[in-house]
Chains A and B, each alone.
Chain A
Amino acid sequence: DAKTTQPTSMDCAEGRAANLPCNHSTISGNEYVYWYRQIHSQGPQYIIHGLKNNETNEMASLIITEDRKSSTLILPHATLRDTAVYYCIVDTVGGSNYKLTFGKGTLLTVNP
């Protein structure tokens, strides 16, 4: 079963920041937080991942709480093309096996 909890859906106005929360209270010390999104009719797209420090790339920022039990994905200036299902996943990196367990995710709708 998925080890994360996300809201089923969220709305955001175009041009505003979208803040997507994720709870992962049972995360282990060696598990990373990954974010993917799936735009309709496409495969999941990797966005960002982190262990305990906040991370930023050209797509988004990831804020992880100090106790690592929750995180927030931030899209700083949402556009209509950011409408998608966003998945928060916790998993290890490395080792002989690496499987992603997808939950139901959050449907983010960006409105004009």
Chain B
Amino acid sequence: SAVISQKPSRDICQRGTSLTIQCQVDSQVTMMFWYRQQPGQSLTLIATANQGSEATYESGFVIDKFPISRPNLTFSTLTVSNMSPEDSSIYLCSVRSSNQPQHFGDGTRLSIL
């Protein structure tokens, strides 16, 4: 399976600031996704990162708050903008290629003070 690296692995940020999380895969993949896992909760899909076009966001998530880039088939970024304490979560990147199971990175643990 693909090896997925996320950076940073964790961060502590001040409210009102923004943080960009990177997801790098060691092989080309068809699809990349971003999930959020709030404390004590299950995973929720934020958006599908589309190569060369705007990401597809799930209900409750908007581009202004979570801008996403995907410049090629192995890399994507998620930015958490104008952060508040409610954004404290684990943010996870996942990938899949045709007819293969989805695989996840180990996530970015984000705390906002």
Contacts and interface: CB of A to CB of B under 8 A. Distances in A.
B43 A99 contact: no
B99 A44 contact: no
Interface string B88-113: 00001010101101111111000000
Complex A-B, nearest 8 residue pairs according to Cβ-Cβ distance, in ascending order: A43-B104, A102-B43, A102-B42, A46-B101, A43-B106, A44-B104, A43-B107, A43-B105
The interface residues of chain A, by DSSP majority, are classed as loop
A101 B104 CA distance: 14
A99 B45 contact: yes
B48 A99 contact: yes
Nearest to B45: A99
Nearest to B33: A99
Contacts of B43: 44, 100, 102
The interface residues of chain B, by DSSP majority, are classed as strand
A49 B107 CA distance: 23
Contact of B106 (A42, A100, A102, A104): A42
A45 B104 contact: yes
Interface string B1-14: 10010000000000
B94 to A, nearest CB: 8
Contacts of A41: 106
B73 interface: no
Interface in A41-96: 41-46, 49, 87, 93-94
Nearest to A48: B101
Contact of A104 (B42, B45, B48, B96): B42
